[in-house]
Amino acid sequence: MKILITSGGTSEAIDRVRSITNHATGNLGKIIAEKCLRTGLEVTLVTTKTAVKPSPQNTLTIVEITDVASLAQTLEELVPTHDVLIHSMAVSDYSPVYMTGLDQVKNTQPIESLLEKTNAEGKISSKDGYQVLFLKKTPKVISMVKKWNPEIQLIGFKLLVNVSKEELFQVARDSLVKNQADYILANDLADISPTRHGAYLIDREQAYPAQTKEEIADLIIEKLLEKRR
């Protein structure tokens, strides 16, 4: 069984110096990858330069990506040759289109004509007191996985912040259906601390709880191996 794991977080460049990123460290993906490797499974880990990674070993391949576009390209290539995708990477929702001073925004009609512009300079000037950054929604990579490989087992991840358990489960089940995922690992930032990582592995009927990153990894691997039997 060949396991594809994504970990860490994508970054979207604003210019050659600045970018929008998220606080994902790659820790959870690393722990899942290490447990898979110890179980004797072959792992391809798609991650970023700054993410923490397992130590090199024969049955581990590491592929580094940067932004959503490079993630999509890499997964399109790798998904067809793997049996499972554990998609723990925090993928950017939005990508910068154009950044300019507030005055230009106030003096442009209609405002959406600014979406046609791009910043030519390598480092956007920092003279204005206020700047305005226009961002465009990125394509949802997870929604393409089952098109690339209808047979792959797909485990998606959903991180929300300070919501009720009902809302967390609802959002996770919506994602499950929409992306044809087999499981969604649903978690809330409020339940994550250095020593704890509360989460639920959700399928259409059930929600299996976990309290730590190790428990999350064990739970996911247990479910994958069950399905194979």
Convert 91-118 into a string of H (helix), E (strand) and C (coil): CCCEEEEEEEEHHHHHCCCCHHHHHHCC
- Comparing CB distances to its own copies, the nearer of 111 and 225 is 111
- Comparing CB distances to its own copies, the nearer of 62 and 160 is 160
Residues that bind its own copies (CB under 8 A): 11, 14-23, 50, 90, 92-94, 97, 102, 105-106, 110-112, 115, 121-123, 126, 128-137, 159-162, 189-190
Indicate the residue type of 103: D
- Comparing CB distances to its own copies, the nearer of 186 and 221 is 186
Indicate the residue type of 204: R
Q: Min. distance of Cβ 95 from its own copies in angstroms?
A: 10
C-beta separation of 29 from 88 below 8 A: yes
- Comparing CB distances to its own copies, the nearer of 144 and 159 is 159
Which residues, in sequence order, are bridge partners of residue 47? 64
Q: Min. distance of Cβ 18 from its own copies in angstroms?
A: 5
Q: Min. distance of Cβ 111 from its own copies in angstroms?
A: 6
Q: Min. distance of Cβ 25 from its own copies in angstroms?
A: 8
Residue 6, φ and ψ in degrees, nearest 5: -110, 145
d(CA 178, CA 181): 8
d(CA 199, CA 119): 41
